[in-house]
Structure 1
Amino acid sequence: MADQPSEHEIELDDTYISKSARKREMTTLQKLGEDLLNLPADQFSQLPLSNQLREALDLAKRLKQREARRRQFQYIGKLMRSENHQQIAETLARFEDDKRFFRQRFQRLEIIRDKLIEDGDQALNELINNHPELDRQHLRQLIRQARKEIATDQAPAKKRKLFRYLRDTLQS
Structure 2
Amino acid sequence: MRGRDEDTGEFFSPSRSQNRREALEVLALGEKLVSLSEAQLAKLPVPESLLPHIRECKRITAHIAHKRQLAYLAKQMRREDDEVLEALRDALDENGEAARREVAAMHRVENWRERLLEGGDAALAELLDEYPQADRQRLRQLVRNTLDERKRNKPPHAFRELYRELRDAILGAREAGDDADDALPEQD
- Work out the CA distance in 1 between the residues paired with 2:42 and 2:138: 36
What residue is the counterpart of 2:113 in the other structure?
Answer: 113
Once structures 1 and 2 are overlaid, which stretch shifts more, 24-33 or 99-108?
99-108
Match of 2:180 in 1: none
- Residue aligning to 1:77: 74
> How far has the Cα of 1:76 moved from its partner?
3.5
State the Cα deviation string for residues 32-59 of structure 1 (Å, max 9, x = none).
Answer: 3235434339965x4345xxx954x444
What does 1:60-71 correspond to in 2, within 5 Å?
60-65=57-62, 68-71=65-68
Higher-Rg member (1/2):
1
Alignment of 1:1-172 (within 5 A): 12-15=10-13, 17-37=14-34, 38=36, 39-40=41-42, 44=46, 46-48=47-49, 54-55=52-53, 57-65=54-62, 68-81=65-78, 83-86=79-82, 88-89=84-85, 92=88, 104-134=104-134, 136=136, 138-170=138-170, 171-172=173-174
Letter in 1 for 2:12: D
Residues 136 and 88 from structure 1, CA distance in 2 versus in 1: closer, same or farther, beyond 3 angstroms?
closer
Distance (whole Å) between structure 2 residues aligned to residue 12 and residue 143 of structure 1? 66
Structure 1 runs not aligned, ≥5 long: none
Q: CA RMSD in A?
A: 4.2
Distance 1:61 1:100, change over 3 A: farther
Work out the number of aligned pairs and report it. 161
CA contact (8 A) 1:47 1:91 kept: no
Per mean C-alpha deviation after superposition, the further-off stretch among 125-134 and 150-159 is 125-134
In structure 2, C-alpha distance between the alignment counterparts of 1:26 and 1:136, rounded to whole Å: 53
Identity of aligned residues (%): 33
Normalised to the residue count of structure 1, the TM-score between the two structures is: 0.62
- Greater relative contact order, per chain length (Cα 8 Å cut-off, separation 6+): 1
Structure 2 gap segments, 5+ residues each = 175-188
User: Shift in Å at residue 73 of structure 1?
Assistant: 3.0
Letter in 1 for 2:148: K
Give the conservation status (yes or no) of the 8 Å contact 1:30–1:73.
yes
Deviates more, 1:106-115 or 1:89-98: 89-98
Q: CA 1:22 to 1:119, structure 2 compared with 1: closer, same or farther past 3 Å?
A: same
Alpha-carbon distance change, 14 to 108 in structure 1, aligned in 2, over 3 angstroms:
same
Q: What displacement does 1:155 show?
A: 1.7
Higher helix share: 1
Letter in 1 for 2:80: N
The one-letter amino acid of 1:145's match is N
